[in-house]
Amino acid sequence: MKQSVGAKTMAMPTPVWLVGTYDADNKPNIMTIAWGGICCSTPPCVTVSLRKATHSYAAIEARKAFTVSIPSQAQVAAADFAGIVSGRDIDKFAACNWTPVKSELVDAPYVSEAPLVIECRLLHTLEIGLHTQFVGEIVDIKADESVIGDKGYPDITKVQPFVWDSCHRRYFGLGAYLGTAWEIGKTITAKES
Contact set for a second copy, span 155-184 (CB under 8 A): 155-157, 159, 161-184
For 28-38, b/e burial (b = at least 16 CB within 10 A) is: bbbbbbbbbee
Residue 86 DSSP SS3? coil
Where does residue 160 fall: left (phi above 0), alpha (psi -120 to 50 degrees), or beta otherwise?
left
Say how many residues touch a second copy, by CB under 8 A. 111
25 versus 182: smaller Cβ distance to a second copy = 182
Characterize 72-87 residue by residue with b for buried, 16 or more Cβ atoms within 10 angstroms of its Cβ, and e for exposed: bbebeebbeebeeeeb
Minimum distance from CB of 55 to a second copy (Å)? 17
- Among positions 107-146, residues that touch a second copy (CB under 8 A) are 112, 116-118, 123-124, 126, 128-131, 133, 135, 137-145
From the list 9, 24, 86, 99, which residue makes contact with a second copy (rule: CB under 8 A)? 9
- Of 135, 158, 165, the closest CA to residue 73 belongs to 158
- What's the angle, vertex CA 79, arms to CA 90 and CA 16, rounded to 5? 130
- Tell me how far, at minimum, the Cβ of 191 lies from a second copy, in Å: 7
Quickly count: other Cβ atoms within 10 Å of residue 90's Cβ: 14
Measured from the Cβ of residue 92, the count of other Cβ atoms closer than 10 Å reads 26
Cβ proximity to a second copy: between 58 and 148 the closer is 148
Neighbours of 19 (CB within 10 A): 29
Cβ 5 to a second copy, closest distance in Å?
A: 5
CB of 62 to a second copy, least distance (A): 22
Task: Please report whether residue 53 would count as binding a second copy according to CB under 8 A.
Answer: no
Q: Minimum distance from CB of 154 to a second copy (Å)?
A: 5
Shortest Å, Cβ 33 to a second copy: 10
- CA–CA gap between residue 137 and residue 105 (Å, rounded): 12
- The verdict on 187 binding a second copy (CB under 8 A) reads yes
- Residue closer to a second copy by CB (options 59, 116) is 116
The HSE-up count of residue 131 (CA atoms within 13 Å, CB side) is 12
Which CB, 9 or 88, lies closer to a second copy?
9
Please select the residue that binds a second copy; options are 24, 31, 37, 58, rule is CB under 8 A: 37
